[in-house]
């Protein structure tokens, strides 16, 4: 079981990366990614800290921790250069903060983020047909989230993914201890949003295959 969207006190989370890892392990997860928020002001130091932490995390701990980043509230034209920079810094999982309806996200964020070297478009809100097709073409996951507020458009994202064959991913976008739910609770969040058990199995298979390359 995995969660590839988690925040620590390196951005707006409450916990140390080590505590995040231990809490996820206690809940039964096998793979997580630390994906703190970044823009030009902090990407180098945040990426360096996350990569260093993951490099030193014990290989025999029972949970694999991947270095990630969430490119957040950028001027949309900055997604390409910052994604490229993140890869050079050793980041394995790149998330773009999508056009959630509960925050003032700049128009055209989804589209230009999908043209960058990202892995996941988080909480993409009322994603358009054009951008769903683009996600499909580029093999980028569209996120279904258990996060309050962001989850309100999960059903739309699911329907768009079905319509165009785009890949989905289940994440919980944790910031605080109470956000770290069990894998079963995360699956229930997906079911409550309209996913079928067969679709959830396909999601986990797609993510498993993706992780073999990370």
Express each pLDDT in 17-61 by its tens digit: 999 999 999 999 999 999 999 999 999 999 999 999 999 999 999
How does residue 214 score in pLDDT terms, banded at 50, 70 and 90? Answer: confident
Question: Residue holding tokens 């070297």?
Answer: 117
Question: Residue holding tokens 């058990």?
Answer: 197
How does residue 210 score in pLDDT terms, banded at 50, 70 and 90? Answer: very high
In this predicted structure, the answer to whether residue 79 has a pLDDT above a threshold of 90 is: yes
Phi, psi (rounded to 5 degrees) for 5: -150, 95
Kindly report whether the global pTM for this prediction surpasses the value 0.95.
Answer: yes
pLDDT for res 16: 97
Mean pLDDT in residue range 123-152: 98
Mean pLDDT of the chain: 97
> CATH number of 2-211: 3.20.20.140, 3.40.50.1860, 3.40.50.300, 2.90.10.10?
3.20.20.140
Phi, psi (rounded to 5 degrees) for 168: -115, 160
Q: Is-contact 46 10, C-beta < 8 A?
A: yes
pLDDT for res 200: 97
């Amino acid at each position: 079981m995995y969660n590839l969207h988690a925040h620590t006190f390196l951005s707006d989370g409450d916990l140390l990366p080590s505590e995040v890892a231990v809490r996820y392990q206690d809940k039964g997860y096998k793979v997580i990614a630390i994906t703190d928020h970044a823009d030009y002001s902090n990407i180098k130091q945040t990426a360096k800290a996350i990569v260093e932490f993951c490099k030193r995390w014990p290989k025999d701990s029972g949970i694999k921790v991947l270095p990630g980043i969430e490119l957040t509230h950028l001027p949309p034209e900055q997604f390409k250069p910052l994604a490229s920079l993140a890869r050079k810094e050793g980041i394995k999982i790149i998330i773009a903060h999508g056009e959630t309806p509960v925050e003032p996200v700049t128009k055209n964020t989804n589209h230009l983020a999908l043209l960058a070297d990202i892995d996941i478009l988080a909480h993409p809100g009322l994603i358009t047909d054009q951008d769903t097709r683009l996600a499909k073409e580029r093999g980028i996951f569209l996120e279904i989230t258990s996060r309050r507020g962001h989850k309100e458009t999960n059903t739309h994202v699911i329907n768009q993914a079905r319509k165009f064959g785009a890949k989905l991913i289940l994440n919980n976008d944790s910031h605080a201890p109470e956000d770290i739910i069990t894998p079963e609770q995360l699956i229930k969040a997906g079911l409550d949003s309209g996913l079928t058990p067969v679709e959830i199995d396909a999601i986990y298979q797609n993510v498993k295959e993706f992780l073999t390359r990370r």
